[in-house]
Amino acid sequence: MRAFVAGFGLELRIVRAAPDALIPLVTAPVFALIFLSIVRESGRPDLQADALMAPVLMTLWWIALQNAGNMITGDRWQALLEPLLATPASLASVLLGRIVALTCLGLVSFLEVWAIGELVYGVSIPFEHPVALGLTLLVTALATAGVSVAFAAVFVLTRNAYTFTNSLSYPLYLLGGVLVPVAILPGWIQPVSSVIFMSWSADLLRASLKPSPIDDLWQRLGMVVLLGAISFLIGRALLFHVMQRMRAKGELAAA
């Protein structure tokens, strides 16, 4: 826990000195305007609230994938990886703390899209189930951080990490049902979506905006947490083996 807290505080100081990691917060309102325009021009005002939720999920995922996924690679290039590994703290825990700090800042996008919807189109987010909405956003941020640890472990092995991050974004937006519900995707691909935590988060966010009761709330929240935790454990194991391999081959500081 101390390593997690230390990583959390470290990332907040880094962001304060170099806020470019929060560029997705600039694009979130733009995506909100685009999605709102699409659903309004399509004659589907019932989907306006859903169109506001999509940029929030996209922002969390983009922050995690583009910044957190390349965190170790950046430390390696700046010769920070060796002293970090020399400490008794768990690298995975420090990394998780840093990523959680970023995803928590990414939740600011919720306020941004809420404001842009009100100011431009007069569309408000219906807080039908505020507790469920808040819990879903929280567990989604944590699950995103867990998945990012796994990506960080994999990306450190390649020189083309940015290519992978750019390629993984939009397929996962589709498979995760960020804008289009998974239920309307082809039947053969829906089982793939069920193992992506974002599909559970997207469905819960939509359900929390509707007046009807939310079915199996705690089970669905639990699935988001479970998938995020599994990803973190896989990432932690991968990270351990990757660091062992790099130590053995003397590649920690390799460019």
Listed by start position, the domains of the chain span 2-249
At residue 255 the predicted structure's pLDDT band, cuts being 50, 70 and 90, is: very low
Using 50, 70 and 90 to split pLDDT, how confident is the model at 68? low
- What is the pLDDT averaged over residues 17-38? 87
pLDDT value for 160: 61
122 Ramachandran zone, left/alpha/beta (phi>0; psi -120 to 50): left
At residue 69 the predicted structure's pLDDT band, cuts being 50, 70 and 90, is: low
Q: Is the pLDDT of residue 25 over 50?
A: yes
For the chain, the average pLDDT equals 83
Q: What is the DSSP letter of 183?
A: G
125 φ/ψ angles, rounded to the nearest 5 degrees: -80, 120
The better pLDDT of the pair 201, 160 is held by 201
pLDDT tens digits along 204-251: 998 998 888 998 999 999 999 999 999 889 888 888 887 777 777 666
The tens digit of pLDDT for each residue in 140-196 reads 998 988 888 888 777 776 656 666 666 777 778 888 888 777 877 788 888 888 888
Per-residue pLDDT, 223: 94
Whole-number Cα distances in Å, 230 to 145, 149, 225 = 12, 11, 9
Decide which of 85 and 12 is more confident.
12
**pLDDT at site 225:** 94
Using CA atoms, how far residue 160 sits from 61, 164, 170, in Å, is 19, 7, 18
CA distance 8 to 46: 39
- For residue 21, what pLDDT band results from cuts at 50, 70 and 90? confident
Range 13-21 average pLDDT: 82
pLDDT for residue 71 is more than 50: yes
pLDDT at position 158: 66
User: Stretch 131-145: mean pLDDT, rounded?
Assistant: 92
Average pLDDT over residues 30-50: 85
Measured between alpha carbons, how far is residue 173 from residues 29, 78, 102, 205 in Å?
17, 32, 19, 15
